[in-house]
Structure 1
């Protein structure tokens, strides 16, 4: 019954509002959905812990708790030693029926306060569902904190209790699950923000109504995973030449930050750009030019040679190492409204926060701190609802927004995606510069023949973000601590050649 996680993600409210209608269209009752949900959780339990063990089921009063009673009944029938502790009596008709069947099986329902007296090898978290909107408090919060400290493996029903399934934010506290079995549709909040530290391994059960549910709902978000890279890059023709793959111009590398521009340029080359030029602050050429394939010029914004390079470029990547001095400011003022597709990162985003330009042919790549400066709010506000922050950025500044972080979000007017690749090794200097180079490289061929392209721009940016995270996973080799941005380069090259084997 459990399946791989779909690419289509939805808001929890879409499930709550339409699952009844979807079940009706599929010829199922809501009780049958609850029974199937419980069976999906039991399937996970039996797959991961096939030898019957001691199971504790923690039940809330709603339908999430009803799923828990179904699990308890099935596990008991399969020979597991099962005890159930509940917050209070079930409040919905289906959850009442589920509890009744558990009791008819010979089970008992104990008070939630008794849970720590129960010896358990596995816990089923059926306390709180996807409708939670306020912080967890009181006894349930105490139970969650103690459960997390216990180290006992936890299977979460639909969503770890305390995690907002829409935003990915922890509401006060949340269960740190070992496995999460989500129902009907995968929820978007479980793949970004704080969610990665709480969901554990994802399982999915559509309960037999996915076709009907999709007929009633459009996907809110597309999920990006490494498997999609297998067919992302077509084989290059035998008579290829560098002009076919675009000219990327990197503008950055001020005094003391030449390495940022070099990383961006090298990543663009490794991701397949035909040609990469770098404009850096005069005096920094030798540092950027340590990579001989990069064509490096030390230029001020007013130099005639600068205009010639700008005219030759298919895509401009501005910001890595740009700095907040007069050199960087002059360059930002020169290119902010320049007629060429652009990737805007790092200090260029800080200049954007002061100038408030808007255009549709650029890609903005802020981390939460930069997003906060652009939106004139706090970083915690950005992280509280990353979807909203990305939407606000696109509405205010236009183009395509890449809100970086755990579960990076790619958002355009008609396309939103969340990246599920990457690891903590990306939390080091230079990783954002590398991403900027990859994005520029993947965009460059689209504009190298003066193509009037808009419809696939956001999807292309999504592939760039996916490539960056997947390359980081390959480079980390299960050892992310101490990983450098330059460590990604060989993996980037390998992953853009998946169809060239």
Structure 2
């Protein structure tokens, strides 16, 4: 499913109204009715229930007024509270205000600080709060009097249904403008807004529902809308079909260059994950003294001994061995457990510009390029990098907090500038491609915050690349399947104490779920 900025959504609305002739009032009516549908699910029934609708002066408030009308007609006791003076309500919202008033219904003004106690009283017996105050056009910070209303709503303990977006949330970034309504459920219209899909917005919107308000499908599936929320059917469409005549040579050969003394586990997890992703062959290249160890840890994986330093890390002398091996492989995974030994760092820096196959670079492979990011632009083949926020901060020379605050913008800008596919890990992992395509991943859970989880992801992406997926497809499919495997593991084991090996164990089941979704979608 595509995801949009506030400006892109406004353009879709404009095209629906001006080019297809769908009146704005029709779109507003459809939006309001979709709010009613969600409200009825939350209430069970309308008759005898009490609903408080908070509105602002814009179209979001108009959607709330439509919902108020229909809920009233269905037998609910509805109170409408406006945080804007009624004379400021204009356009299609004013039409619906007039309808509400002609029905003999009142709108209470609650935009002053002295109205707080009255608002608290309204909410005492309320069964559902509908938040239709600010829409996707909100920018900046909420004013203090409105912020206090938000506090009252959030402290009420009542379920909250947000209209299009929780008020106070920035639609493009998911950041909060000083204060924000905490929704139990959000019904957004036509397509999800970016701010609802990334943290902290994803956590503030509660359960997210996307409602059809009759915008023509041809507009919603416009190729110029390059941001996507990943789902299983999309991932399934990228996976290769396995025919009865296929053999291991048809699914690619991955070379994993990883490991050092004390870090053999990272190397093995990465190699096994590439195999679990479907690669036909996987060779794990490690410092020579580690080869006997990793051979016993992963019998399904071929191993290769590399020249090593006195600290049992990969030395610069390993380059000719790696180069020769790459003549037989389709993908290189580089980085897990390498360490930042100076000679190993030099090996990474010398190796990368000379590689002619797609590369997945992670962990110490990324650390080796801090201050040397110009190397990214020297690569001849597709590159996928998979930093967590701390690694991303080191690469960019900024504070980790800045990475978290500007995840979307930094991911897109960096992928374009460095001409690579960027996987920015974390809650709602982002996959940014150099052509501007962005994927947002909804799978995964806090139980995956465990050592080795990133090594598994690197292997999964490499295994998919080996099977012929593009860099963007492999990265997006990899993060989705990796997160889904983590969700399946957490569902059976619980998130506490989950290990990276659990993600590895549940990967085959994750692929089954994904392929089943593809069959249903087809």
Q: TM-score, normalised by structure 1?
A: 0.90
The CA distance in 1 between the partners of 2:25 and 2:330, in whole Å, is 58
Partner of 2:265: 259
The CA distance in 2 between the partners of 1:305 and 1:20, in whole Å, is 59
- By how many angstroms is 1:439 displaced? 0.4
Q: Is 1:184 the counterpart of 2:190 in the alignment?
A: yes
SS at match of 2:467: helix
SS at match of 2:137: coil
- By how many angstroms is 1:126 displaced? 0.7
SS at match of 2:202: helix
- By how many angstroms is 1:135 displaced? 2.4
Instruction: Tell me the alpha carbon deviations over residues 162-187 of structure 1, each in whole angstroms, 9 at most, x when there is no partner.
Output: 22121222222222211111123322
Cα pair distance change 1:285/1:327, threshold 3 Å: farther
Partner of 1:450: none
Partner of 2:97: 99
Out of 330, 345, 348, the residue aligned to residue 332 of structure 1 is 348
Partner of 1:412: 433
Q: TM-score, normalised by structure 2?
A: 0.87
Out of 424, 427, 431, the residue aligned to residue 453 of structure 2 is 431
Partner of 1:397: 418
Partner of 2:63: 67
Q: Is 1:54 the counterpart of 2:50 in the alignment?
A: yes
CA RMSD of superposed structures (Å) = 2.4
Partner of 2:181: 175
SS at match of 1:382: helix
Q: Is 1:115 the counterpart of 2:119 in the alignment?
A: yes
Instruction: Tell me the alpha carbon deviations over residues 45-91 of structure 1, each in whole angstroms, 9 at most, x when there is no partner.
Output: 11232223221111112111121122112111111121122112243
Q: Is the 8 A contact 1:184 1:210 kept in 2?
A: no
Partner of 1:76: 72
SS at match of 1:47: helix
Partner of 2:333: 317
The CA distance in 1 between the partners of 2:218 and 2:488, in whole Å, is 38
Partner of 1:87: 83
- By how many angstroms is 1:18 displaced? 4.2
The CA distance in 1 between the partners of 2:457 and 2:157, in whole Å, is 36
Partner of 2:485: 471
Partner of 2:495: 480
Farther-moved stretch of structure 1 (90-99 vs 227-236): 227-236
Cα pair distance change 1:384/1:259, threshold 3 Å: same
SS at match of 1:354: coil
Q: Is the 8 A contact 1:25 1:212 kept in 2?
A: no
Farther-moved stretch of structure 1 (153-162 vs 76-85): 76-85
Q: Is the 8 A contact 1:125 1:156 kept in 2?
A: yes
- 1:259-298 maps to which residues of 2 (within 5 A)? 259-289=265-295, 290-298=297-305
Q: How many residues align?
A: 487
SS at match of 2:370: helix
Structure 1 unaligned blocks of 5 or more: 1-6, 447-452
The CA distance in 1 between the partners of 2:449 and 2:154, in whole Å, is 25
Q: Is the 8 A contact 1:259 1:287 kept in 2?
A: no
SS at match of 2:166: coil
Partner of 1:248: 254
SS at match of 1:133: coil
SS at match of 2:369: helix
The CA distance in 2 between the partners of 1:355 and 1:323, in whole Å, is 17
Farther-moved stretch of structure 1 (324-333 vs 467-476): 324-333
Partner of 2:362: 345
- By how many angstroms is 1:345 displaced? 0.7
- By how many angstroms is 1:344 displaced? 0.6
Q: Is the 8 A contact 1:247 1:313 kept in 2?
A: yes
SS at match of 1:490: helix
Cα pair distance change 1:499/1:180, threshold 3 Å: closer
Instruction: Tell me the alpha carbon deviations over residues 292-327 of structure 1, each in whole angstroms, 9 at most, x when there is no partner.
Output: 222334423304544433433321111111211224
Partner of 2:312: none
- By how many angstroms is 1:122 displaced? 1.0
Partner of 2:310: none
Out of 349, 366, 386, the residue aligned to residue 387 of structure 2 is 366
SS at match of 2:167: coil
- By how many angstroms is 1:389 displaced? 0.9
